[in-house]
Amino acid sequence: MSEQSTRVVGTRTLRHDAPEKVIGRAKYTADLQAPGMAHGKILRSPHAHARIRSIDTSRAEALPGVYAVVTARDLPPYEGDSFDHRALRDSTFASDKVLHVGHPIAAVAARTLSTAEEALDLIAVDYEVLPAVVNVLDAIKPNAPILHEHLRTSSLGGAEDRPTNIAWRFEHAIGDLTAGFAEADVIVEREFTSLLVHQGYIEPQAALAIWSPDGSLTLHTSTQGSFAVRDTIVDLLKLPMADVRVIPAEVGGAFGGKNTSYIDAAAALLARKAGRPVKTVMTRAEVFLGTGPSSGTVIRIKAGANREGRLTALDAQLYYEAGAYPGSPVGSGASVMTGAYVVPNGHIEGFDIVVNKPRSSSYRAPGGTPANFALEQVVDELAEKLGMDPIEFRLINSLRNGCQNFFGHTVADIGAVEVLEAVRAHPHYNAPLGGPNRGRGVAHAYWGNWGARSSATLTVNPDGTVGLVTGSVDITGTRTSLAMQAAEALGLDYNQVKPSVGDTGNIGYSDVSAGSRTTVATGHAVVRAAEDTIARLCARAAQIWGVPVDSMSYERATRTFSSTSDPDKRITFAELAALLPQTGNVVIGVANVDIQEWGVGYGAHIVDVEVDPETGKVKLLRYTAVQDVGKAIHPPAVEGQLQGGATQGIGWALYEGYVYDANGRLLNPHLLDYKLPTALDLPMIDTVLVEVPYPKHPYGARGVGEVPIV
């Protein structure tokens, strides 16, 4: 279906979830109650690195009002040698060592929250405190404290034979680096450090676990992916998959931080042992100490360009903190660093390094933000040394359709050049700065996006409305964008499609709502479910009329079914829907997809700042975000994504960061001292939506959520 023919897609309709959220009726996990419900609390380590000699829970168990206490002993025994499973298990409850301040050790369920908190103080843990390492460069020194005695560096050359804090090392090279630098007329070499930062969502994690008499578990939770939580619980507790039902509630912010399950297993263990429902809600300090922030990094870059402004060489080393267990997004960082430009000669080396901090988790374009920050600084310096306009320099080096990227893939259907040209032509870029101590910055960005698995069902009601259920958790208003695509594909009005989010018990498997995938990949599922619905309605009309199915067709513009075998046979969507109960019951369209091709994203931002020369305070004066969005399914939501991502990037650059002491204690685990930008710190962020449709999506859409922060 061509983008020119859309009636619903591209319109500025009201978000489906807006009214209930505005008036306070939307239900989050912390709002939920259950009969006989107990309250859960988690005991966390005060040490960054320590061996656990013993845990005595007897005094806590004896406290009146306490229903259950659980530790690692309550998890099924570990079998096998999978490091990932061991990390998952020990992240739930530490067994032999704690690896960061805030590492969970035990959990309590009690009649009241205050009783649960009192019981935590009665649990006696005997620690052998060990030296901590909280910096990636310190962690790779020969005499550094080792977090995991069994960890060996993995690389293309195989695993090393000695304990290490480097979990993974990779290299990639292209061309002739020495020759590339020899061709350069200007060279810039810099080192950049970025702090560990948190996603900053407003709603803390919460979980409500309820066991049925038949041994099945229902878990209400704040998550970006109900199936991911189900799989974690099945893996940890060794339960049959059919016995675990995960129901996602409304999500009060996530940005990648709720891809991982942190307290669900603890709530489930407590509820089973207590014999009653248990709700566990994190405090803000627990969110900072016990969930996965982004990686802190050290990035070294050396780059050269010739006098014509072409990049000739790039050499980079990326050191990423994984936190307590391996798994930093350093590979993603390397991809983003090289994703916007043609690099004829290059070398990138990446390191995934464990340190005594919380295990890193996804944060909106995980790994990409610090890598692109570093590269774009160097790109600006190269342009400055050459006396060249920074956008012109980027245009000269930009990837174009048909080019090979750094990793040898030929790129196609991209809008990088269109974005840069839109910036160059924008009034903001050409406006005078209008005062002293002012400057203008630009940055260009790439993000690869994602496809993966999604499910959708469409149910036709007798009144002509349609119920839409998908397995994708709505974290950005995607119920609206998905309902719009369903309405478009069916030829209906937006308000005739009622969207909802399913759970693991009533919808097919869907991957997490992450990687800018939901509107695109689940949109594919919705459109295919609409096509299935139309085919089933054609079959029903053919049955009613007694004509061949292959004679049937549906005209979306008039919402009319007709048969070529009898031109007089015509019936509207609404009329046919009304006949369904008497002609074979309901019609349900279904689709399950695994999207393997999707459109990547490019963006560029312009910002004017004023710097106080006495204090160094940076004031933002004007900000414009330009991005190729493919096709804006729901333009207000797309604009909000650009503004939100830019705001978080501003936070990284000017305000945010975890601050640790030498012993690995976090000094700012609350929003008083962890500084997030507010509305008072920001100008209006203007947006420009460049639309270079991605041809393999029904309406040309690309993922948009992560490019803006990069």
Helix residue spans in 36-93 (DSSP H): 58-62, 83-92
Residues paired with residue 116 on neighbouring β-strands, in sequence order: none
Q: Which DSSP letter does residue 275 get?
A: T
Query: β-strands 311-323, 206-211: how paired?
Result: unpaired
631-635 mean pLDDT? 98
Residues 366-380: what's their mean pLDDT? 98
Tens digits of per-residue pLDDT, 13-67?
999 999 999 999 999 999 999 999 999 999 999 999 999 999 999 999 999 999 9
What interhelical angle do 368-386 and 635-654 show, nearest 10? 80
- Among 229, 211, 232, 206, smallest CA distance to 274 is for 211
**The pair of three-digit structure tokens given for residue 657, joined into one six-digit string:** 């960061």
Whole-number Å distance between alpha carbons of 116 and 98: 22
- Contacting residues for 551 by C-beta, under 8 A, at least 6 apart: 542, 563, 564, 565
Q: pLDDT tens, 323-356? A: 999 999 999 999 999 999 999 999 999 999 999 9
- pLDDT at site 3: 43
Q: What are phi and psi of 650, to 5 degrees?
A: -60, -40
Q: What is the pLDDT of residue 4?
A: 54
Joined together, the tokens standing for residue 432 give: 């005078």
Residues 426, 646: Cα–Cα separation, whole Å: 18
Is there a contact between 682 and 623 (Cβ–Cβ < 8 Å)? yes
pLDDT value of residue 158: 76
Structure tokens at 315: 């050499």
Work out the pLDDT band at 163, boundaries 50, 70, 90. very high
Q: Judge if pTM exceeds 0.95.
A: yes
pLDDT at 157 over 80: no
pLDDT reading at 2 higher than 70: no
Average pLDDT over residues 106-127: 98
Say how far apart CA 596 and CA 65 lie, in whole Å: 53
Q: For 276, how many CA atoms within 13 A lie in the half-sphere containing its CB?
A: 19
The strand pair at 124-129 and 217-221 is best described as: unpaired
What's phi and psi for 30, nearest 5 deg? -65, -20
Is the model more confident about 158 or about 515? 515
Which pair of tokens denotes residue 595?
């999207």
Torsion of CA 282, 286, 288, 290, to 10 degrees: -100
> What was the pLDDT predicted at 710?
97
Task: Say if residue 424's pLDDT is above 70.
Answer: yes
Contacts of 87 (CB under 8 A, 6+ apart): 325, 326, 327, 359
Nearest to 486 by CA among 494, 474, 478, 476: 494
pLDDT for 83 equals 76
Where residue 81 falls among pLDDT bands split at 50, 70, 90?
A: low
Residue type, 308: E
Total residues belonging to the chain = 710
Model pLDDT for residues 429-445, shown as the tens digit of each residue: 999 999 999 999 999 99
Identify any residues that bridge with 686 across adjacent strands, giving them in sequence order.
624
Beta strands in 59-143 (DSSP E): 66-71, 97-98, 104-110, 124-129
433, exposed or middle or buried, with CB in 10 Å at 0-12, 13-18, 19+? middle
Determine the longest span between alpha carbons in the chain, in angstroms.
86
| pLDDT tens digits for range 555-580 | 999 999 999 999 899 999 999 999 99
Q: Who wins on pLDDT, 348 or 85?
A: 348
| pLDDT tier, 471 (very low <50, low <70, confident <90, very high otherwise) | very high
* CB count in 10 Å sphere of residue 351: 25
pLDDT at 580: 97
| Phi, psi dihedral angles at 300 (to 5 degrees) | -115, 130
> What is the DSSP-derived secondary structure letter of residue 236?
H
Pairwise CA distance, residues 86 & 178, whole Å: 43
| Contacts for 7 with CB less than 8 Å, ≥ 6 apart | 488, 491
pLDDT in tens, 599-622: 999 999 999 999 999 999 999 999
Lowest mean pLDDT among 24-28, 62-66, 96-100, 158-162: 158-162
Q: Tell me how crowded residue 436 is: count the other CB atoms within 10 A of its CB.
A: 8
Task: Give pLDDT, residue 285.
Answer: 97
Beta carbons of 595 and 521 less than 8 angstroms apart = yes
- The whole-number average pLDDT for the span 109-115 is 98
Please, what is the Cα angle at 603 between 602 and 607, to 5 degrees? 165
- With cut-offs at 50, 70 and 90, classify the pLDDT of residue 189: very high
Contact in structure between 70 and 106 (CB atoms under 8 Å): yes
CA distance 460 to 357: 51
Cβ proximity of 599 and 630 under 8 Å: yes
Q: Note whether 472 and 501 are within 8 A (CB).
A: yes
Predicted local confidence at residue 332, as pLDDT? 97
Q: How far apart are CA 563 and CA 33, in angstroms?
A: 54
SS (H, E, C) 443-485: EEEEECCCCEEEEEEEEECCCCCEEEEECCCCCCCHHHHHHHH
Structural tokens at position 617? 């305070």
1 has a pLDDT exceeding 60: no
**What is the number of other CB atoms lying within 10 angstroms of the CB of residue 16?**
23
What distance lies between CA 266 and its chain's CA centroid? 23
pLDDT tens readout for residues 236-269: 999 999 999 999 999 999 999 999 999 999 999 9
Give the integer Cα–Cα distance in Å for 221 and 228. 12
d(CA 159, CA 142): 17
The confidence band for 12, taking pLDDT boundaries of 50, 70 and 90, is: very high
Kindly state the DSSP code that residue 310 receives in the 8-state scheme: -
| Residue 601 · residue 446 · CB < 8 Å | yes
Distances (CA, A) of 538 to 490, 514, 528, 703: 12, 36, 15, 33
Average pLDDT over all residues of the chain: 96
Beta bridge partners of 608: 440, 622
3-state secondary structure of 366: coil
Does residue 241 contact residue 230 with C-beta atoms inside 8 Å? Answer: yes
Q: How far is CA 426 from CA 319, 377, 421, 434, 631, in A?
A: 37, 22, 9, 17, 20
Return d(Cα 287, Cα 279) in angstroms, integer: 16
* SS3 at position 276: coil
